[in-house]
Amino acid sequence: MSKFKVTFTLDDTDANYFRSLYRQSQRSAKDLDAAAVIRDARGIVRQVRTSKKTPSFVIDAVKVLTDLVDLIQDEEYAAPKKVRDQVLAGLAYFSNPEDLIPDHIPGLGFLDDAIMVKFIEEEFKDELWGYRKFQKLRDSAEQRPWATPGSQRLRQRLETDRKRIRGQIDAREAKAATKRKAGKKLGW
């Protein structure tokens, strides 16, 4: 089996189009039920993974949706309400049954979804970085649920890790905001 690489560049018009779709979905998110948005995001992931004609790059792209849904539902990570609301608004795009390319078109139906996932991934890159770091720390932590002292130490350690990571996320976002103000473009 041979592989080949396909790349494309979105010009400003294309990028602005996807930004407008994203902003529109954010505005309409206020009218959507959070549980429905989460269900629809998980549904698109399931649909992509079970479709026989979905390109692997699309399957890889939608993993971000799983991470974002997990991020807002993970009680131990405890994302701030503002972050949860912003992520839900970002995920609202996937609650729209009428997207650019109908999903039932083999091989291409999820292309617009993959592009939007990449845009959303860029929007939440720092939060995703922090969540993934928290997951690794939690997964590597000593876990002895049957032992009260071990359970208490784990909770304290996760709390300390969460606060430290939250500070790192804030610092990364502040640095990015400074770059934007200085006129440096961030690509996606």
Over the chain, what is the mean pLDDT?
Answer: 80
Please answer whether residues 114 and 58 qualify as being in contact, where contact means their C-beta atoms are separated by less than 8 angstroms: yes
pLDDT of residue 97: 58
| Predicted pLDDT of residue 142 | 63
Do both 77 and 33 map to the same domain?
yes
For 61-83, write each residue's pLDDT tens digit. 888 999 999 999 999 999 999 99
Number of structural domains (the chain) is: 2
pLDDT at position 188 = 47
Q: What is the residue range of 42's domain?
A: 11-123
Q: Which residues of the chain have pLDDT under 70?
A: 1-6, 8, 96-111, 142-150, 183-188
pLDDT tens by residue, 22-44: 788 777 777 778 888 899 889 88
Q: What's residue 99's pLDDT?
A: 57
70 and 100, same domain (yes or no):
yes
Question: How far apart, in whole angstroms, are the C-alpha atoms of residue 71 and residue 134?
Answer: 10
Residue 48: its H or E element:
helix 34-50
Say what the pTM is: 0.77
User: Is the same domain home to 67 and 149?
Assistant: no
**Residue 168 within a domain:** yes
Instruction: Report how far Cα 151 is from the mean position of its chain's Cα atoms.
Output: 30
